[in-house]
Chain A
Amino acid sequence: MISLENVSKSYKTSTRPALDKVNVEVDKGDFVFIIGPSGSGKSTFMRLLLKEDNPTSGDIHVAGFHVNKLSGRKVPKLRQRIGCVFQDFRLLPKKTVEQNVAFALEVIGKPRSFIEKTVPEVLDLVGLAGKADRLPTELSGGEQQRVAIARAFVNRPLLLLADEPTGNLDPDTSGDIMLLLERINRVGTTVLMATHDNHIVDAMRRRVVELDQGLVVRDESRGVYGVGR
């Protein structure tokens, strides 16, 4: 599903590479935590998978796309196979829950009948069936993140990228979000989650890839966040 071979990324303004000869393989259906302190390269890792940035060297394959060789015209095709969730939710404040989710399908040209059928299903999946007509400001943080997950998942992506999805949430709500991500993972979607939250990582006992100063320092199949962090 994801393969990084000797991927390095340097920014002009920095003396140290953000990623340094990273090799990571992720199979279809995996659930992987990317952990590491701020500045370790987690965000760069995510950005490269989405082709928001190009690696300085190395090869990246995602969902059958040779990402670093992909032409600009085909980038939308790649991104349609990837769902994204962020710490700050990134919902459109003037659209309702339903419209926010539908937006992701509308802008890739899905027919109205498909949207009308799919959106309620996904809202039901994330537990927001009764709140379709609310505005994001009328929702709690956890509910807003559910909307964001619904939007990321509504096009049935092969891969879900979650960048600190629980960073703004209390532990209970975070737990609910993790259950939701787990459920999405169980239906076959590969989930890649960058996080600082040691409780979550320790509780889930999933694969952990740890980055430090751009290097992969640990890759365990049933890892914990680590001692003393």
Chain B
Amino acid sequence: MRASFIFGEVASGLRRNVTMTIAMILTVAISLGLFGGGLLVVQMANKTQSIFLDRVEVQIYLTNDVSDADPECEQDLCRNIRTDLENTPGVVSVQYLDKADALADAKERTFKDQPEYSDLISENALPASMKVRMSDAERYFVIFDLFNQRPGVASILNQKELVDRLVSVFNGLRNAAFALALVQAFAALLLIANMVQIAAFTRRTEVSIMRLVGATRWYTQLPFLLEAVAAALVGTALAIVGLFAARPLVIDNVLGDLYDVNVFAKVTNSDILLIAPVLAVVGVGFAAVTGYITLRLYVRE
């Protein structure tokens, strides 16, 4: 098989059907761009979820008796709760807040933007508590089972229930993005099939002559296959460049404020670099497989 002939055919085929080639490149670029965008959303949802879970704490409120009687947590009842918590597997850190700390913490967190309210809260409003940070927020139930019934413990607040609701929102977002990406991939597949078919149709005379003079199936089909692959490759490159360009221009603009307060995970260039090979494999693989199947059905032996 002569490579120079095949590549010559590919080049002249692409040149001759230049409008078709451009259409195919753009279609592939847009489809893969959206597909890549979907993958980025999946990544962002995962990372955002882990940002939230990292910050989730279990807060164990002590009874008022303990809070008042032992403000420094020096007596056995309080100290044992603390050591037992620290020795529980999965617990990263335990922070004791006395009533004053609890108030300061609440003022800092909840009433930061409403100083007029913070002055109204009485010194005695909040009991002492222990803030427990866990390596895995999913393990909240271990803490709950172990400490809920313990003397000195009034109640256990689990922020995870709030996060769970948030997580389900993210999961939904992720699934929607993935479904969209799949639909786009399917659309790209059909478009490539269509383009290859049209390209083969416009050169049916060549193909019929090739068959007649005894060219093998590979000789007749490889140029079409390589044309599709070449166009898909350029389309993939455009899609990746497009994603790099869209990041600062679109995504950062829309989500910039949320980045600043560390609510959403940033989409970074390395995220895009990470999905680039996926896009290349998907784009080129789709083009090759679709092209092969299309030609297999289209060109007889």
Q: Please report A residues at the B interface, Cβ cutoff 8 Å.
A: 50, 72, 75-82, 84, 90, 92, 94, 103-104, 106-109, 111-112, 151, 155
Docked CA distance A75–B214 (Å):
7
B184 at the interface (CB under 8 A from A): no
B206-226 interface code vs A (CB 8 A; 1 in, 0 out)? 101111111111011000000
Query: B215 touches which one: A72, A76, A82, A92 (CB < 8 A)?
Result: A76
Besides A77-B214, A79-B211, 11 more A-B contacts (Cβ < 8 Å) are A78-B214, A79-B212, A90-B208, A92-B206, A94-B16, A103-B213, A104-B209, A107-B5, A112-B2, A112-B4, A151-B213
Which of A81, A106, A111 has the most chain B CB within a 10 Å cutoff?
Answer: A106
Query: A103 touches which one: B16, B209, B214 (CB < 8 A)?
Result: B209
B214 touches A76 (CB 8 A): yes
Docked CA distance A75–B206 (Å):
18
A77 contact set on B, CB distance < 8 A: 214
B301 contact set on A, CB distance < 8 A: 72, 75
Docked CA distance A72–B300 (Å):
10
Q: Which residue of A lies closest to B219 (CB)?
A: A107
B205 at the interface (CB under 8 A from A): yes
Docked CA distance A109–B1 (Å):
5
Q: Which residue of B lies closest to A161 (CB)?
A: B212
Q: Which residue of A lies closest to B2 (CB)?
A: A109
Q: Please report B residues at the A interface, Cβ cutoff 8 Å.
A: 1-2, 4-5, 16, 205-206, 208-217, 219-220, 301
A75 contact set on B, CB distance < 8 A: 214, 301
Q: What secondary structure prevails in chain B residues at the interface with A?
A: helix
B212 contact set on A, CB distance < 8 A: 50, 79, 84
A50 contact set on B, CB distance < 8 A: 212
Q: Give the Cβ gap from A108 to chain B, nearest Cβ, in Å.
A: 6
Known: A106-B5, A107-B219. A90 touches B205 (CB 8 A): yes
A79 touches B214 (CB 8 A): yes
Q: Which residue of B lies closest to A154 (CB)?
A: B213
Docked CA distance A109–B215 (Å):
8
A111 contact set on B, CB distance < 8 A: 2
A109 contact set on B, CB distance < 8 A: 1-2, 5, 219
A108 touches B215 (CB 8 A): yes
B210 contact set on A, CB distance < 8 A: 107
Q: Which residue of A lies closest to B216 (CB)?
A: A76
Docked CA distance A76–B212 (Å):
8
Q: Give the Cβ gap from B36 to chain A, nearest Cβ, in Å.
A: 38
B5 contact set on A, CB distance < 8 A: 106-107, 109
Q: List 10 A-B contacts (CB under 8 A).
A: A50-B212, A75-B214, A76-B215, A76-B216, A77-B214, A92-B205, A103-B206, A109-B5, A112-B2, A151-B213
